[in-house]
Structures are given as structure tokens and as C-alpha cells.
Amino acid sequence: MFYAKCLHKAMDGAGTNDSTLIRIIVSRADHDLGNIKRAYEKQFNKTLYSAVNVSIVTLYFSVFTISFDATRARRLETTREHCWP
């Protein structure tokens, strides 16, 4: 997937392209981010979460962690809405 490759390139080598990480992870819809995470893991044999953890400073990691957790929480809430009347 295009965005998985872009994220990998942004974190590959010395330094991290923070603006690319922010633009892709924060701006993508929940569904897109889920697809990006799965594509990243399949293509690079590690989770996007672990790659971000290694590549960025703690402050940015906190922002991305919140974003991932919010995505997960919305998905769980949506599942509950569909399972219970």
C-alpha cells in the first residue's frame, strides 16, 4: 500500500520525517489507518506501532499512541452499536 511505503520511508535511516508521519497518521480516516497498519506489518514484518515507537521521540509517540487508541475505541464503539440494540 502506498501510505505504508511512505511511512516506512519517513522512518528509514537517520532522522525521521515528522511532517510525513503526522500528515499520514493523523489525517487518514479510521478505516484507512487500519488498512495502512495491516499493510505495513505485512510488507515490513513489524507493526507500524513498533516502528513509530523506535523512530520518534516520546512526545510524538504519545500523540500517535492517542491516535491509535482513539481509532481502536471508535471501532469498539461501532461494534457495540451493531451488536446490541
* Domain ranges (residues) in the chain: 2-83
Residue 12: per-residue pLDDT: 85
Residue 56: per-residue pLDDT: 67
Select the more confidently predicted residue: 74 or 20. Answer: 20
Q: What is the tens place of the pLDDT at every residue in 16-73?
A: 888 888 888 888 877 788 899 999 999 999 998 888 877 766 546 666 666 776 666 5
Per-residue cell: 31: 478505516
Intra-chain end-to-end CA distance of the chain, in Å: 36
Assigned CATH for 2-83:
1.10.220.10
pTM of the full structure = 0.61
Alpha carbon distance 19, 7 (integer Å): 11
Largest CA distance in the chain: 51
Average pLDDT for 9-21: 82
